[in-house]
Amino acid sequence: MSNSQRTHSQSQTRTRTTGSDQPLETTSGETVEETRAEWVEYDFQGEAKMVAEDLDVHYGDDHALKGVSMEIPEKSVTALIGPSGCGKSTYLRCLNRMNDRINAARVDGSVRLDGKEIYQDGINLVELRKRVGMVFQSPNPFPKSIRDNISYGPRKHGDIETGLLARLLGRDDSDAERELVERALKQAALWDEVHDRLDDNALGLSGGQQQRLCIARCLSVDPEVILMDEPASALDPIATAKIEDLIHDLAKEYTVVIVTHNMQQAARISDQTAVFLTGGQLVEYGDTDQIFENPRSQRVEDYISGKFG
Amino acid sequence: MTRDEYQQSLADLRADVLSMGDLVGSRLGRALTALSTVDEAAARAVAGADDDVDRRYLALESTCIRLLAQQQPVAGDLRFVASSFKILTDLERVGDLAVNLAQYTLAADRKRFEEVDLSTIGDLAREMLDDAMTAYRTDDADLCRAVAERDDELDTLCQRASERVVRELIEREVDEGDTWAVEELLDDVSRLLLIVRDLERVGDHAVNIAARTLYMVESDPALV
């Protein structure tokens, strides 16, 4: 099921440098010293849905994520920003163990969901990814009907059964399926546009509709956390606005974590923002208002102001 | 460094706001000199031409709006543009007050209340304005706080001056039969009170500028 290894060996020896804002790189871009994130102490209201502690990821020899500790508040939008290669997507993929699918990846450290370690033996990855769903950069609907895209997950999980065999066995969840499809599509703000063509192939939808369908598909299995990796970067401004509105609404019920390259998007839609900078480090984490109005780290200020990166 | 053009436009904005500050400061200075020397020609020059300040104000306001719309500044840049946007308004208002002062000079009979020391009040207000703009130019948070602290001093001076004028009005014996003399006295008193009030307002605008500058420099809204 998994090719990744997990060790705890490094987490004890790390030193915290929280509060310092010393440059971590020389002008030539070499890393001088590995340090922990600088301004990552973040007091937020409410409960933490997910907690990462001393998270390290290596892809072979490449140290992609360095000692990231970060709590994700429930029922809110957490944005992860930073330049390409900063580790933000790597971090996101740790939250539902998608990195397990990469052979060379090695994850060290801890990630807890509702207090329970997800990097421990015996974790059911299918169940984990049902609770922590994911939406990718490019819309990737199944080449099936709109309806089947939504009901595929619940069928796989055995939550609904329809068809001849089910009827012969005395079970027919067709009504439940209809309700589920309608609810998921409404939640994803797509129902009004597709309700009269649910049997059409999903690949016939526009890019923005396909992405909302993917969000609906994610919602159909009733997740608790939704991870989004640049969900609107391939979309036009109107479709992007719809996705952003949707994310805002989803955060009332779900915990949303979104990676975005669009800093204005992060500023618009997120409650808290984590800034990763080159070298796989979390450099600053705080209220989005604070990050974009008054970041504490000079490097973060320079990055979000477009002065480097 | 990336976004060179954007960085240059931020630097240009700061230079332009400072230049407008210089213009407004010099107009205020000329109005104050005209007031203390009862120089009608100088007063007329200040009273007659506020268009220049207004034009700059509108142009720089547009610059700020364009920067916000096109560049979406964040962090320190955002605080700089937002603060500059507010500071422009204060400078424009000080320009208006300089015009007011010049107009009072043209209309007032300063001999009547010579004992009221308007030049001390005016100098203090002008210094506060200059200091606030210096703080804006040099990102000097301490100077911002110093400007705010001096406002109490200015307020006290203004209050004393007003009380003095009003007391004199009460105590002065005027021949009630001489309607013309009563009217003239009332005009002079109200004018003088307006001058004092306007100088106090110059100080308030200087404090506003210092407050926005402090927010700009340290993200500290304490003075706002």
Q: How far apart are CA B162 and CA A31, in angstroms?
A: 66
pLDDT at B117: 87
Contact in structure between A288 and A267 (CB atoms under 8 Å) = yes
Closest to A137 measured CA to CA, from A58, A242, A57, A240: A240
CB contact A289 to B (< 8 Å): no
Answer yes or no: do B77 and A264 touch at CB < 8 A. Answer: no
Q: With b meaning 16 or more CB within 10 Å and e meaning fewer, what string describes A224-250?
A: bbbbbbbbbebbeeebbebbbebbeeb
| Homologous superfamily, domain A48-304 | P-loop containing nucleotide triphosphate hydrolases (3.40.50.300)
Answer yes or no: do B2 and A264 touch at CB < 8 A. Answer: no
Among B74, B217, B219, B224, which would you mutate to test the A interface (most chain A Cβ atoms within 10 Å of its Cβ)? B74
Nearest CA in chain A to B72: A264
Q: How far apart are CA A55 and CA A280, in angstroms?
A: 10
Question: How far away is chain B from the Cα of A258, in angstroms, using its nearest Cα?
Answer: 20
Average pLDDT over residues B33-38: 89
pLDDT at A26: 38
Q: How far apart are CA A21 and CA A232, in angstroms?
A: 32
Both tokens assigned to A213: 């369908």
pLDDT at B172 over 60: yes
Contact in structure between B217 and B140 (CB atoms under 8 Å) = yes
Closest to A119 measured CA to CA, from A74, A64, A57: A57
Both tokens assigned to A12: 């004890």
Number of domains making up chain B: 1
Beta partners for B115? none
Question: How far away is chain B from the Cα of A293, in angstroms, using its nearest Cα?
Answer: 4
Closest to B71 measured CA to CA, from B82, B57, B86, B56: B82
pLDDT at B181 over 60: yes
Specify the DSSP element, H or E, that contains A72: strand A62-73
Q: In terms of pLDDT, which residue wins out, B154 or B175?
A: B154
Closest to A11 measured CA to CA, from A111, A82, A92, A101: A111
| Whole-prediction pTM | 0.82
Nearest CA in chain B to A262: B72
Answer yes or no: do B74 and A304 touch at CB < 8 A. Answer: yes
Q: At what angle do helices A146-156 and A207-220 cross, to 10 degrees?
A: 20
The whole domain housing B165 covers 4-218
Q: In terms of pLDDT, which residue wins out, B49 or A282?
A: A282
CATH number at residue B154: 1.20.58.220
Beta partners for A228? A135, A258
Whether residue B77 is contained in a domain is answered as yes
| ipTM for this model | 0.78
pLDDT at B116: 82
Answer yes or no: do A305 and B76 touch at CB < 8 A. Answer: yes
Measured between beta carbons, which residues in chain B are less than 8 angstroms from residue A263? 72, 74
Of B3, B78, B79, the CB nearest to A306: B3
Q: List the pLDDT tens digit at each of the 309 positions of chain A.
A: 344 444 333 333 333 333 444 444 434 444 434 344 567 778 888 899 999 999 999 999 999 999 999 999 999 999 999 999 899 999 999 999 998 888 889 999 999 999 999 999 999 999 999 999 999 999 999 999 999 999 999 988 878 877 777 778 777 788 888 999 999 999 999 999 999 999 999 999 999 999 999 999 999 999 999 999 999 988 889 989 999 999 999 999 999 999 999 999 999 999 999 999 978 999 999 999 999 999 999 999 999 998 875
pLDDT at B97 over 50: yes
Contact in structure between B167 and B220 (CB atoms under 8 Å) = no
Q: How far is CA A154 from CA A68, A196, A255, B222, in A?
A: 34, 22, 20, 55
Contact in structure between A271 and A288 (CB atoms under 8 Å) = yes
Answer yes or no: do A293 and B75 touch at CB < 8 A. Answer: yes
DSSP state string for A151-175: HHHHHHTTS---SHHHHHTT---HH
Q: In chain B, where do the E strands start and end?
A: none
CB contact A301 to B (< 8 Å): yes
Q: Which residues of chain B have a Cβ shorter than 8 Å from any chain A Cβ?
A: 1-3, 6-7, 72-79, 219
Q: How far apart are CA B132 and CA B134, in angstroms?
A: 5
Question: How far away is chain A from the Cα of B17, in angstroms, using its nearest Cα?
Answer: 21
Q: How far apart are CA A285 and CA B35, in angstroms?
A: 56
Three-point CA angle B99, B101, B107, nearest 5°: 105
Q: Which of residues 206-225 of A touch B (CB under 8 A)?
A: none
pLDDT at B44 over 60: yes
Contact in structure between A175 and A251 (CB atoms under 8 Å) = no
Convert the pLDDT of each residue in B66-92 to its tens digit: 999 989 999 999 999 999 999 999 999
Whether residue B223 is contained in a domain is answered as no
Answer yes or no: do A292 and B2 touch at CB < 8 A. Answer: no
Nearest CA in chain A to B71: A305
Q: Beta strands A62-73 and A105-113: pairing type?
A: unpaired
Measured between beta carbons, which residues in chain B are less than 8 angstroms from residue A305? 3, 73-77
pLDDT at A160: 82
- What is the amino acid identity at position A105? A
Answer yes or no: do A305 and B73 touch at CB < 8 A. Answer: yes
Whether residue B84 is contained in a domain is answered as yes
Q: Is A50 helix (H, G, I), strand (E, B) or coil?
A: strand
pLDDT at A307: 81
CB contact A140 to B (< 8 Å): no
Measured between beta carbons, which residues in chain B are less than 8 angstroms from residue A267? 74
Answer yes or no: do A293 and B78 touch at CB < 8 A. Answer: yes
Of A264, A267, A293, the CB nearest to B79: A293
Both tokens assigned to A76: 């809110």
Of B2, B3, B74, the CB nearest to A292: B74
% pLDDT > 90, chain B? 73
Question: How far away is chain B from the Cα of A12, in angstroms, using its nearest Cα?
Answer: 35
Q: What is the mean pLDDT of chain B?
A: 92
Answer yes or no: do A304 and B2 touch at CB < 8 A. Answer: no
Measured between beta carbons, which residues in chain A are less than 8 angstroms from residue B141? none
Question: How far away is chain A from the Cα of B220, in angstroms, using its nearest Cα?
Answer: 10
